């Protein structure tokens, strides 16, 4: 059986895209993983990325100074990663997938006769452009890495057509659109209680996402509506702020995070999946997040703002409501006008869409990329 290698900075047990990639490749390859966590899939070998040295204030200041001077090697290469790259190059994996821009140079250093697929999930040059310190320190790094390495990957995938178009325009590379479709789950829409419409939002607690807008929206809705926020803590101070806001409202709660493998089953009990995030950055303007398809797989109605790349999915499958703008009052008005029958109809539409919007579709694309073309010999 040929070998495949998956590189990701995060723990793939908590990161859907590399997790699904590992599961998909394990059908046809002997899979190894280099990541920030340990994978427990049977038959998959895992090697943890060595942690960086002390993150003392002095070291962080030194790193910032190097970035400001345009020196980026320390953000990519550590002694541990150099040793890992040398060892795996000798093993010569037939197929390599990499899920983080800073690990792309490592994947390319490992590549010998095999091929590299880069999962450009976001548009990296403008990832957190709403944050001044990120623009100052990390935007030049990401642009430099894209210019130097993107064209050397054999395949690039991303989550939205606009991201693909921007990579083509700025860097002259072709990206295939590969949305973040979840593993299919055999469940059905739950009955709708007209006196209790339960909404849910889950995801990263990032200040850029303005989650407080959804909390304030609840002040405008009838008492039959409630909202649970299942948040992955990225900024504990922000989570505490949101929790304090919720404690002042009887219809909103912050709940503990769940493993992504549990999200679909756990949220099947709800009625509406909620996503309202103003386009404060290029990536949020054109995002197509995991949660959209997880809402569908959970057989929920979808309620969103007019996010440009999400709206076509909602319209095509008649999944719910799309507000005219990102003002919470506007979406509240659209939700308040729904009857229980409306919500039930949208949930049934999600049930039908779930048979199509699942990872069977994207697995077929990945397997075609991984298996169809023989590796080219590189000198």
The whole-number average pLDDT for the span 158-183 is 97
CATH class of 3-181+359-372: alpha beta
- Residues 148 and 171: their CA atoms lie apart, in Å, by 9
315 vs 374, residue with greater confidence: 315
163 pLDDT higher than 80: yes
The whole-number average pLDDT for the span 145-172 is 98
Average pLDDT of every residue of the chain: 93
276 pLDDT higher than 50: yes
376 pLDDT higher than 70: no
The whole-number average pLDDT for the span 77-86 is 87
- Residues 68 and 81: their CA atoms lie apart, in Å, by 23
pLDDT of residue 56: 77
- Whether residue 288 contacts residue 180, with contact meaning beta carbons closer than 8 Å, is answered with yes
Share of the chain above pLDDT 70, in %: 96
53 pLDDT higher than 60: no
40 vs 181, residue with greater confidence: 181
The whole-number average pLDDT for the span 184-188 is 96
pLDDT of residue 146: 98
- Give the pTM: 0.92
pLDDT of residue 54: 57
The whole-number average pLDDT for the span 76-95 is 90
Same fold, 3-181+359-372 and 197-353: yes
173 vs 260, residue with greater confidence: 173
Confidence of residue 38 (pLDDT cuts 50, 70, 90): confident
The domain segmentation of the chain, as residue ranges, is 3-181+359-372, 197-353
- Residues 296 and 291: their CA atoms lie apart, in Å, by 8
- Mind spelling out the 3-state secondary structure of the chain? CCEEEEEECCCHHHCHHHHHHHHHHCCCCEEEEEECCCCCCCCCEEEECCCCCCCCHHHHHHHHHHHHCCCCHHHHCCHHHHHHHHHHHHHCCCEEEECCHHHHHHHHHHCCCCEEEEECCCCHHHCCCCCHHHHHHCHHHHHHHHHHHHHHCCEEEECCHHHHHHHHHHHCCCCEECCCCCCCCCCCCCCCECCEEEEEEEEEECHHHCCHHHHHHHHHCCCCEEEEEEEEECCHHHHHHHHHHHHCCCCEEEECCCCHHHHHHHHCCCCEEEECCCCCCHHHHCCCCHHHHHHHHCCCEEEECCCCCCHHHHHHHCCEEECCCCCHHHHHHHHHCCCHHHHHHHHHHHHHHCCCCCHHHHHHHHHHHHHHCCCCCCC
Confidence of residue 2 (pLDDT cuts 50, 70, 90): very high
Confidence of residue 374 (pLDDT cuts 50, 70, 90): low
Confidence of residue 377 (pLDDT cuts 50, 70, 90): very low
The whole-number average pLDDT for the span 33-59 is 78
The whole-number average pLDDT for the span 291-299 is 98
Q: Residue 13 to residues 19, 83, 123: CA-CA distances in angstroms?
A: 6, 24, 23
CATH class of 197-353: alpha beta
pLDDT of residue 378: 43
Across 354-379, b (16+ Cβ under 10 Å) vs e yields beebbbeebbeebeebbeeeebeeee
State the chain's maximal CA–CA distance in angstroms.
68
* Per-residue pLDDT reduced to its tens digit, 308-357: 999 999 999 999 999 999 999 999 999 999 999 999 999 999 999 999 99
């Amino acid at each position: 059986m040929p070998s495949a290698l998956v590189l990701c900075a995060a723990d793939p047990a908590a990161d859907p895209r590399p997790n699904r990639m590992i599961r998909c490749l394990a059908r046809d390859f002997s899979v190894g993983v280099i990541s920030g966590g340990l994978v427990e899939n049977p038959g998959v070998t895992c090697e943890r990325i060595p942690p960086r040295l002390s993150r003392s204030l002095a070291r962080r200041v030194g790193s910032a100074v190097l970035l400001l001077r345009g020196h980026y090697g320390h953000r990519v290469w550590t002694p541990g990663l150099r040793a890992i790259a040398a060892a795996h190059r000798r093993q010569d994996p037939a197929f390599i997938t990499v899920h983080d821009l800073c690990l792309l140079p490592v994947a390319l250093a490992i590549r010998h006769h095999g091929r590299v697929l880069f999962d450009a999930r976001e548009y990296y040059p403008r990832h957190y452009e709403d944050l001044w310190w990120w623009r100052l320190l990390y935007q030049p790094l990401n642009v430099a890495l894209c210019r130097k390495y993107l064209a050397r990957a054999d395949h690039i995938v991303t989550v939205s057509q606009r991201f693909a178009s921007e990579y083509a325009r700025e860097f002259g590379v072709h990206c295939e659109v590969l949305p973040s479709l979840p593993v299919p789950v055999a469940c059905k829409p739950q009955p709708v209680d007209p006196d209790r419409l339960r909404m849910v939002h889950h995801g990263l607690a990032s200040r850029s996402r303005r989650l407080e807008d959804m909390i304030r929206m609840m002040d405008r809705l009838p008492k039959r509506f409630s909202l649970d926020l299942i948040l992955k803590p990225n900024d504990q101070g922000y989570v505490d702020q949101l929790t304090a806001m919720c404690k002042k409202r009887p219809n909103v709660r912050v709940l503990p995070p769940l493993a992504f493998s549990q999200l679909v089953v756990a949220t099947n009990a709800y009625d509406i999946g909620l996503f309202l995030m103003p386009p404060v950055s290029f990536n949020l303007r054109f995002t197509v997040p995991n949660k959209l398809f997880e809402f569908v797989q959970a057989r929920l109605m979808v309620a969103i703002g007019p996010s440009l790349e999400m709206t076509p999915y909602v319209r095509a499958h008649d999944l719910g409501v799309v507000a005219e703008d990102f003002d919470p009052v506007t979406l509240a008005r659209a939700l308040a006008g729904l009857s229980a029958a409306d919500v039930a109809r949208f949930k049934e539409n999600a049930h039908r869409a779930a048979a199509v919007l699942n990872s069977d579709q994207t697995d077929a694309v990945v397997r075609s990329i991984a298996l169809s073309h023989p590796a080219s010999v590189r000198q």
